[in-house]
Amino acid sequence: MSEKLYTSTPMGEAIMEALQQLNEEIAELFGSAEPGSVRAYVFGGAALHIHTNARGSADIDVEISAAMKLDLGEITVLYTDEHGDERQLVIDDTFNPTISGLLPEYYQDDAISLYRTADAPLHAFVVTGIDLAVSKLDRLGEQDQTDIVCLYQAGKFTIERLKAHAEEALLGAVGNEKRLQGNINFMITRLEELERP
């Protein structure tokens, strides 16, 4: 079963355009780059939007894996949102998902393809909804909690699956294990409360 992704909304199209520009810049910088030699993984508000059509973001948190050192400068896409407002979207290629103490081990293997052509040096993916939720359990600020609820209500995971996935990620976590377990327990309780009549 393929997941519903929102890549045709104004912001979704802007994200895809930014990835296209990123591909073109890589191709220009490294003319001999092999297809798929640069892999990008989208996190943050951009990933949340792609999964749920919920809140947007002014930047795209993207982890870039490449054999060569990339200095891509700032890629900016201007677009008009669904309310007719002018928006700007930039790629944040300094984003590092390992800042989170909780990151599932196989998130790259499980990520969903977003942008890929036979000869493109860039292959871009969005992390799965459940991996995005788990990555938000570390900081677990008010916005992170809202994002996790949004992903849950969009049917991206069950409560049981999130708990198991988060506790598996906890085995390789960096940071205070007791605090991270407390965050997991808190969020599971909050989701369970949503189900109570």
- Are the CB atoms for 104 and 131 separated by under 8 Å? yes
pLDDT in tens, 56-94: 778 889 998 876 667 666 788 888 888 888 988 888 877
Q: Tell me the pLDDT of the chain (197 aa) as tens digits.
A: 457 899 999 999 999 999 999 998 888 888 788 888 899 999 999 999 999 998 777 888 999 887 666 766 678 888 888 888 898 888 887 788 877 668 888 999 999 999 998 889 999 999 999 999 999 999 999 999 999 999 999 999 999 999 999 999 998 887 778 999 999 999 999 999 998 87
Q: Identify which of 80, 105, 76 has the alpha carbon closest to the alpha carbon of residue 166.
A: 105
Angle formed at CA 109 by CA 182 and CA 135, multiple of 5 degrees: 25
97 secondary structure, DSSP code: G
Instruction: Say how many C-beta atoms besides its own lie within 10 A of residue 65's C-beta.
Output: 11
User: What is the model's pLDDT at position 1?
Assistant: 43
Which residue matches tokens 């998902």? 97
Q: What's this model's pTM, rounded to 2 decimal places? A: 0.91
Spatial neighbors of 112 by CB under 8 A, at least 6 apart, are: 3, 5, 125, 126, 127, 128
The span from the CA of 8 to the CA of 121, in Å, is: 23
User: What is the model's pLDDT at position 161?
Assistant: 96
